[in-house]
Amino acid sequence: MAQYEVTLAGFGGQGIMTAGQLLAYSGMAEGRKVVWLPSYGPEMRGGTAYCTVVVSPDRIGSPIINNPTCCCVFNRPSFDKFAPRVRPGGLLLVNSSLIDVESDRTDITQLLVPANDMAMKAGNPKAANIVILGALIGASEVLSYKVVEKTMKEKLGGKKDLLPSNIKLLREGYNLARKELGKKEKV
Amino acid sequence: MAKILMKGNEAIAEAAIKAGCVNYFCYPITPQNEVGEYMARRLPEVGGAFLQGESEVAVGNMLFGAASTGQRVFTTSSSPGISLMQESISYMAGAHLPVVIVNIMRGGPGLGGILPAQSDYFQATKGGGHGDYRLLVLAPSTIQEAVDLMMLSFHLAEKYRNPVMIIGDGMIGQMMEPVEFPEHHEEPELPSNDLWAITGAKGREPRVIKSLFLDPKLLDDNSWNLYDKYARMEREEIRFESYRIKPKNKILIVSYGTMARICQTAIDELEKDGVSVGLFRPITLFPFPSKQIAKEAKKKNIENVLVIEMSTAQMKEDVDLAVLGAKPVKFYGETGGLVPSPDAVKEQIMKLIKNPNDELKRR
Amino acid sequence: MNEDARTLFSRPESLNEVVTHYCPGCTHGVIHRLVAEVLDELGVRENTVGVAPVGCSVFIYKYLGTDFLEAPHGRAPALATGFKRLRPDMMVFTYQGDGDLASIGMGEIVHAANRGEKITTIFVNNAVYGMTGGQMAPTTMPGQVTTTSPGGRNVNDTGYPIRVAELLSALVTPNYIERVAVHTPQHIIKAKQAIRKAFTYQKEGRCFSLVEVLSTCPTNWGKTTEESLDWVESRMVPYFPLGCYKDPETAEVPDGAV
Ligand SMILES: Cc1ncc(C[n+]2csc(CCOP(=O)(O)OP(=O)(O)O)c2C)c(N)n1
Ligand code: SF4
């Protein structure tokens, strides 16, 4: 697969950075080149936080990506900022639990994921990021589901009690994307 | 050893430990705080000295004291903090002490901002403090290169008994990339630090590590000794990378650090469109690869040398000096935390290709 | 509107009508308000210059309606000195965190106090470096976990927290120095009185004045707002006793000084 770029954006505390890191770790586990670049500084306190992950078969040049292949937006300010930036032909994942608008762009694939509601229902309210990560994998096929699940087990293994529900939510996010986009294989 | 995904700041910290440096002094400043936080956890494990000083002025001078023992020591900071260390850096250079200082640069002058910039080029490469001295300055463009240069820097500091500075913009500190640490770290043999370090005057004449020479002849000697070291660095330490440099190129880009990576992406994309542009990336900023740049710039087809930096044309002065008017040297840059995108770089290159006489300057 | 309606509480004129960037539960905002009220009451807003520190309160100039200078980290008392020496008719105050004042800026504050500069310092002690993400400060409590003291502050290695009010009170120069807190309404009232006194002494051209305010940093303490307020009372107040440490009214010049 060619170079794939994902920007994840939301409030500080929504697990944006963690989701991005899981993606980067997974890319590495599949033998790709990866870069994870966060926004940093006081804006992370309460304001918007975002990170960009680049996964590529080749040496990665610029870590700065203005028009990523995919944007995952977790709140309204991030939607406003990043929805217009998705590269034509790219993918926009919208956390529809917290964002009540949709992009009117017709040159991208848009997927609404009620990530907070799904996480809440699973009794794991902080795991909206995991749902979105699952949906991202399901929709983009940038990495295999298996690798991401394995990475999550390794990296989030410390929170043992939450792991089963994290895995469930990753799968639910994945399957939701498959269903919505009419793709066959589910997990 | 397997590759691990690490933040630049943490990779720099671990690289120092792997190179046998377990002594670290620091003062908090964004965007390099992760180094100190990592060292606060790691150094007690490996039995080194970790101390958060009361200021960068103090930290620089703690380095001075620590380096005098002959052991390896380093610090990291960011632009305003590095300014405060200039006193100690000048004294350490004058006293021929090997230390390593990392500057994860943010925008200036003054309090400036906290986002990535390359605005401390002059400060790093022209000495920075008072007196006739220079630092050996290294500029990584990837986290792996930051690790490699960090591990090399202690050896270079000792080889020349001179402070070495590594400069990276905020992205080098904050970014995560896979890195690999060598299984065994080997360095060329050097004379023992015990030959000059302060160890107690048992069985030898007492030693003084100092930079005061009231006799002008002695001070003159000291300054020329320093000068000779820098001349030797120019002979032995110049490092750079050439990327897609070909005889048919009309433009030679000169850029360093993360900015050079961004240029690479632009160049790769232009290459796909059939436009061929070469990149010269200095890795040592002092000594500066002037001769090498001049050689490339003088090639027949080159119409323009284009310097691209996240500053208002600081390195451009050194490129001007290298090229000495043989070819026009143009500049493009953004600063203050703005980072030129590959698209912006492409646009500037295309402008120059269409109108070789264009003056590019700013965003 | 009811004829008897009276305004009991409103925004001080010296406090700008903007949303601050402070974290929920941070008491920097309370302290800003107290300063604003005092500036209003003394009627000095238009004749005052504040000197902003480097720390979370670097943006204080957005929140208070006076002129401001932005100092390098820790140097606010030096800027204030320079300004005040040339404009003794104006009110000059610094607003500084504990990293700013008690670490990098220790030299400047000691000498400004010792010279008896006719300036006022509001010193916000929240036991941590806030802006840079929770590193150890000189005022960090023994055993307190911070990002650069992951095992808790070890006093054998880093000494005990600096008591700034006590330290500066040891200077002979007759200054006004008081420590207050803002974790309960009663404490806020007392804090206001101290801040008012500090500015009043300056207005009268009498002395250097410093009010140390025990403040919260829920974000970097890893506590809720309530827990943070409790922590001020249970951990900080016993070590940093509240009260007036020095007052020119009662200051004594020791034997041998004259
Ligand atoms: C010379 C210099 N060193 C370091 C910094 C980074 N820095 C910014 S704010 C700060 C400390 C803030 O802590 P404190 O004074 O306790 O204030 P708080 O944020 O807790 O209110 C530091 C070290 C800087 N700006 N300049
Ligand atoms: S980091 Fe701490 S001091 Fe700074 S605004 Fe937040 S709570 Fe207040």
**Cis check: omega of the bond before B109, within 30 degrees of 0:** yes
Provide mean pLDDT across the span C243-253. 92
Gap from CA of C54 to ligand 2 centroid (Å): 13
**Residue C151: its chain B contacts at CB < 8 A?**
44
Interchain proximity A42–C219, CB inside 8 Å: no
Chain B residue with CA closest to C104: the answer is: B55
The domain spans of chain A are 4-180
The average confidence (pLDDT) of chain A is 93
Instruction: For domain A4-180, say whether CATH 3.40.920.10 is its number.
Output: yes
pLDDT band of residue A12 (cuts 50, 70, 90) is confident
Provide mean pLDDT across the span C208-221. 97
Q: Whose CA is nearest to atom 1 of ligand 2?
A: C130
Tokens representing B134 are: 């220079």
Predicted local confidence at residue C118, as pLDDT: 98
Q: Whose CA is nearest to atom 13 of ligand 1?
A: C129
**Residue C56: its chain A contacts at CB < 8 A?**
42
- Looking at all shown ligands, the one closest to residue C216's CA atom is 2
Predicted local confidence at residue B360, as pLDDT: 77
Tokens representing C178 are: 């008081």
Is the CB of residue A45 less than 8 Å away from at least one CB of chain C? yes
The architecture (CATH level 2) of B4-236 comes to 3-Layer(aba) Sandwich (3.40)
Chain C residue with CA closest to A42: the answer is: C131
Query: Which pLDDT tens digit goes with each residue over B137-163?
Result: 999 999 999 999 999 999 999 999 999
Residue in B33, B44, B111 nearest the CB of C132? B33
The helix or strand, by DSSP H or E, that contains position B223, with its residue range, turns out to be helix B216-236
Q: Which residues contact B205 (CB under 8 A, 6 or more apart)?
A: none
- DSSP 8-class letter at A97: T
The average confidence (pLDDT) of chain B is 97
Provide mean pLDDT across the span B216-230. 98
Interchain proximity C23–A42, CB inside 8 Å: no
Q: Whose CA is nearest to atom 5 of ligand 2?
A: C22
Classify residue C67: in a domain, yes or no. yes
Classify residue C16: in a domain, yes or no. no
Asked if the model's pLDDT at residue C255 lies above 90, the reply is: no
State if residue C54 touches ligand 1 by the CB under 6 angstroms criterion.
yes
Query: Which pLDDT tens digit goes with each residue over B33-47?
Result: 999 999 999 999 999
- Looking at all shown ligands, the one closest to residue C21's CA atom is 2
pLDDT band of residue C254 (cuts 50, 70, 90) is confident
Q: Whose CA is nearest to atom 3 of ligand 1?
A: B81
Predicted local confidence at residue C5, as pLDDT: 86
State if residue C98 touches ligand 1 by the CB under 6 angstroms criterion.
yes
Helix H, strand E, coil C: the string for chain C is: CCCCCCCCCCCCCCECCCCCCCCCCCCHHHHHHHHHHHHHHHCCHHHEEEEECCCHHHHHHHHECCEEEECCCCCHHHHHHHHHHHCCCCEEEEEEEHHHHHHHCHHHHHHHHHCCCCCEEEEEECCCECCCCCECCCCCCCCCCECCECCCCCHHHHCCCCCHHHHHHCCCCCCEEEEEECCCHHHHHHHHHHHHHHHHHHHCCCCCEEEEEECCCHHHHCCCHHHHHHHHHHHHHHHCCCEEEECCCCCCCCCCCC
Predicted local confidence at residue A45, as pLDDT: 55
Predicted local confidence at residue A43, as pLDDT: 47
Predicted local confidence at residue C78, as pLDDT: 98
Asked if the model's pLDDT at residue A44 lies above 50, the reply is: no
Predicted local confidence at residue C2, as pLDDT: 67
More confident residue, B7 or C9: B7
- Looking at all shown ligands, the one closest to residue C57's CA atom is 1
Most confident of A8-17, B49-58, B335-344: B49-58
Q: Using most ligand atoms within 8 A of CB, pick from C98, C126, C223, C224 the residue to mutate for ligand 2.
A: C126
For the CA atoms of chain C, what is the radius of gyration? 18
CATH number of the structural domain spanning residue C214: 3.40.50.970
**Residue A64: its chain B contacts at CB < 8 A?**
171, 262, 339, 341-342
Predicted local confidence at residue C8, as pLDDT: 87
CA distance A42 to chain C (A): 7
State if residue C130 touches ligand 1 by the CB under 6 angstroms criterion.
yes
Four-CA torsion A141, A147, A149, A151, nearest 10 degrees? -130
Chain A residue with CA closest to B258: the answer is: A62
Handedness of CA B226, B227, B232, B235 (dihedral sign): positive
State if residue C77 touches ligand 2 by the CB under 6 angstroms criterion.
no
State if residue C61 touches ligand 2 by the CB under 6 angstroms criterion.
no
Classify residue C257: in a domain, yes or no. no
Interchain proximity C148–B56, CB inside 8 Å: no
Is the CB of residue A13 less than 8 Å away from at least one CB of chain C? no
Asked if the model's pLDDT at residue A46 lies above 60, the reply is: no
Classify residue C221: in a domain, yes or no. yes
Asked if the model's pLDDT at residue C1 lies above 60, the reply is: no
Gap from CA of C182 to ligand 2 centroid (Å): 15
Interface test with C, best of B9, B25, B37, B104 (most C CBs within 10 A): B37
Interchain proximity C103–B110, CB inside 8 Å: no
Phi, psi of B25 (to 5 degrees): -125, 145
Q: Across the B/C interface, how many CB contacts are shorter than 8 Å?
A: 49
pLDDT band of residue A47 (cuts 50, 70, 90) is low
Is this prediction's ipTM beyond 0.85? yes
Chain B residue with CA closest to A54: the answer is: B177
A4 bridge partner residues = A55
**Cis check: omega of the bond before B287, within 30 degrees of 0:** yes
Gap from CA of B246 to ligand 2 centroid (Å): 54
Four-CA torsion C233, C235, C237, C238, nearest 10 degrees? 120
Q: Which residues contact B87 (CB under 8 A, 6 or more apart)?
A: B57, B60, B61, B129
Is the CB of residue A160 less than 8 Å away from at least one CB of chain C? no
The helix or strand, by DSSP H or E, that contains position A137, with its residue range, turns out to be helix A128-140
Provide mean pLDDT across the span C126-151. 97
The domain spans of chain B are 4-236, 241-354
Classify residue C7: in a domain, yes or no. no
Asked if the model's pLDDT at residue C3 lies above 80, the reply is: no
Which ligand 1 atom sits nearest the alpha carbon of residue C101? 15
Interchain proximity A46–C23, CB inside 8 Å: yes
Residue in A21, A41, A66 nearest the CB of B176? A21
Domain that holds residue C55: 21-246
Which ligand 1 atom sits nearest the alpha carbon of residue C217? 20
- Residue-wise burial string across B240-254, b where 16 or more C-beta atoms lie within 10 A, e elsewhere: beebebeeebbbbbb
Query: Which pLDDT tens digit goes with each residue over C18-49?
Result: 999 999 999 999 999 999 999 999 999 999 99
State if residue C213 touches ligand 2 by the CB under 6 angstroms criterion.
no
State if residue C126 touches ligand 2 by the CB under 6 angstroms criterion.
yes
Instruction: For domain B241-354, say whether CATH 3.40.50.920 is its number.
Output: yes
